[in-house]
Structure 1
Amino acid sequence: MSNASLQDFCNRIVAAGRITAADLATLSGELLPDGLVTRDEADLLIALDRAVAQPNAAFADFLVACVVDLAVWGERPTGYVNAETARWLAASIGAGTGPTATGARIAVEVVREAQSADETLIAFALAANGRTSPDEVPGTLLAA
C-alpha cells in the first residue's frame, strides 16, 4: 500500500465529512489488509479521526486495534513501548490540543496490551482518561 493511496482516501473522507461502512471496508480490505505497517500510516488515520465531523464507531474500533497492534507488536522490541515510541504516539494522538475520545482509547489500550510501557505514555493515558468521560472511553484506566 502506498501512502499516496491512503492520503487520497483520507482526503476524500475529509471532503465528505464522514466515514461510511463502505469506506471502512475499502480501508480495511483494500488499502490496509494487513493493518498499519508504518507510523506514517498511523499518523494519517489518527489525523483523519480528528478531522471527520461525523465519528464512526466501527472506524474507531478499527483504528484502536490497528494502532495497538503497530505500537505494541509492530515495533521492536515487541510487547514493549519504549520512550521513543511513547513520545511519538502521545504527540500523534494529542496533536497539541489533546486527544479525541478515540485517541484516549488508543492510549489506554496500548498501555493495557503492552507488557511494559514507558511512563510518558502511561502519564498521557491517565491524563487523557481524566479529560474524557467514561462513556466516551470504554475500558478506562480510572474507575468512576
Structure 2
Amino acid sequence: MITIALQHFCNRIVAAGTLGLEDVRELNRTVLPDGLTCREEADMLFGLDRAMPDADEAFGEWLVASVVDFAVWGERPTGHIDADTAHWLAASLACGRGPTATGARIAVEVVREAETNDPVLIAFALKANQARAGAEDEGIISYAVAA
C-alpha cells in the first residue's frame, strides 16, 4: 500500500517539475526511511522516473539500489527472482513503451544481484541493456516487450 507521504512527495515533485539532490535525501530519510515495502511504491517511483527525465542522477542511483534491495532481498523467496516477480518487474519497467535508462539499469542490476533469475527477467534485462547501449530517444529506450 502506498503511503500518503509518498503520494504527497510525488505530487509535489511533479508539480514543481524538478527532482534534486535534496529531494532524494528527503525521500530516503523521511518518506521511505525503511526503503521500499511493496510493489505499489516501486511502481509509483517508476512513474516518477518517467515523469522526471531530468531528475538529479542521485534519484536514479537511489531507485536502482532500492529496487534491487526490495526485489532481491525483500521479496520471497529471498535472493531469487521467481516468475511472478520477473513478470512484475518487466511489465512495470517497460510500461508498454520500454524502460527508461534507469529502468534498464534496474533490470540489469537485479539480475546481477539475485542468486537465480526467471528467464523472463534475464531476457528483459538483456534487451534493455542492448537498447541502452544503442539508441536512446528522449530518455526512453526503444524497446518492444514480449510478454
Length-normalised TM-score, structure 1:
0.89
Q: How many angstroms apart in 2 are the aligned matches of 1:96 and 1:42?
A: 17
The Cα of 1:55 is off from its aligned counterpart by: 2.5
Amino acid at match of 1:59: F
5+ long unaligned stretches in structure 1: 137-144
- Bigger Cα displacement from structure 2, 92-101 vs 5-14: 5-14
Q: How many angstroms apart in 1 are the aligned matches of 2:36 and 2:123?
A: 25
The Cα of 1:87 is off from its aligned counterpart by: 0.4
Matching of residues 20-31 of structure 1 within 5 Å: 20-31=20-31
The corresponding residue for 1:142 is none
- Bigger Cα displacement from structure 2, 44-53 vs 67-76: 44-53
The Cα of 1:2 is off from its aligned counterpart by: 5.4
Length-normalised TM-score, structure 2:
0.87
Does the aligned pair in 1 maintain the 2:28–2:35 contact within 8 Å? yes
Q: How many angstroms apart in 2 are the aligned matches of 1:83 and 1:17?
A: 36
The corresponding residue for 1:56 is 56
1:18-44 CA-partner distances (Å, limit 9, x unpaired): 211111111000011111111111111
Q: How many angstroms apart in 2 are the aligned matches of 1:120 and 1:2?
A: 26
Q: How many angstroms apart in 2 are the aligned matches of 1:39 and 1:14?
A: 20
Q: CA RMSD of the aligned region, Å?
A: 1.8
The corresponding residue for 1:101 is 101
How many positions carry a matched residue from both structures?
136
**Residue 34 (1) aligns with residue 28 (2):** no
The corresponding residue for 2:124 is 124
The corresponding residue for 2:81 is 81
1:92-140 CA-partner distances (Å, limit 9, x unpaired): 1110000000000000000000000100000000111111127x8xxxx
SS for the counterpart of 1:132 is helix
SS for the counterpart of 2:133 is coil
Amino acid at match of 1:61: E
